[in-house]
Amino acid sequence: MKPSVKILFADDDFKYSRLLKEFLVRNGYDVTYAGNGRIALDLFDKVNPNVVLLDVNMPEANGFEVAEAIRKKNAKVLIFFLTDRSDKTDRLKGFQLKGNDYLAKPFYPEELLARIEERLGHASETVQRIYKVGNTSFHYTTNELITGNTKTIITSRQADILRLLIESINETVSRDLLLNTVWGADNYTNSLALNVQITYLRRALQLDKTLRIISVVKKGYMLCEKL
């Protein structure tokens, strides 16, 4: 049983959705149903789900629009697109919006269940990780930096950047990797945004004199730790 795992499920096909919801509930999930995209967005903050299941073709706000709005609020919640639109363009769009998976209808409920459990397994490994670097503890789940008795909260995007830098401590992380992993594209606008987020991260880490983020010309950034 997984009573603590909450799913927000949005689809305008009520008969199909009722059956899928009952299946997920029988398998231990707490499922909240939304009949269209607008309702899903209204419920998101209230439900605070671990997983969001989105049909693409919904009235008032389609699945892609809902996912884009959710990603502006939360970078970590799992998003699955469930749709009869299975062409390459739609699948790519789903992943560009940082969806975690894309299932073409019809699919077996057991397949969806397996994919959810597999993704939750990977997520839990990340969530439980606390990074110790220099004199700082970085809590990736809660976006917290703790240096001595001082706690600093950073944004989810900054947390994603810092995780990549920490996992390659004292090595250069390329701009392309940072942009494609954190933003999903390495265009000019995102490149400027990366520069800004690095500035904020440097400020957030300034209490720890053993750490600094340096720019590697024409390559990327490196988090340096003085031992």
Structure confidence by residue, pLDDT tens digits, 209-220: 999 999 999 899
Neighbours of 129 (CB within 10 A): 13
Report pLDDT for 86: 59
Q: What's the pLDDT tens digit per position in 31-75?
A: 999 999 999 999 999 999 999 999 988 888 988 999 999 998 888
The whole-angstrom distance between residue 3's C-alpha and the CA centroid of its chain comes to 22
- Rounded Cα–Cα distance for residues 38 and 44 (Å): 10
Report pLDDT for 118: 82
Average pLDDT of the chain, as a whole number: 87
- Rounded Cα–Cα distance for residues 209 and 206 (Å): 7
Report pLDDT for 100: 84
Q: Which domains does the chain have, with CATH numbers?
A: 6-127 (3.40.50.2300), 130-225 (1.10.10.10)
Report pLDDT for 133: 92
- The pTM of the full predicted model, rounded to 2 decimals, is 0.53
Q: Is the peptide bond preceding residue 106 cis, with omega within 30 degrees of 0? A: yes
Q: Which two tokens stand for residue 2?
A: 């997984």
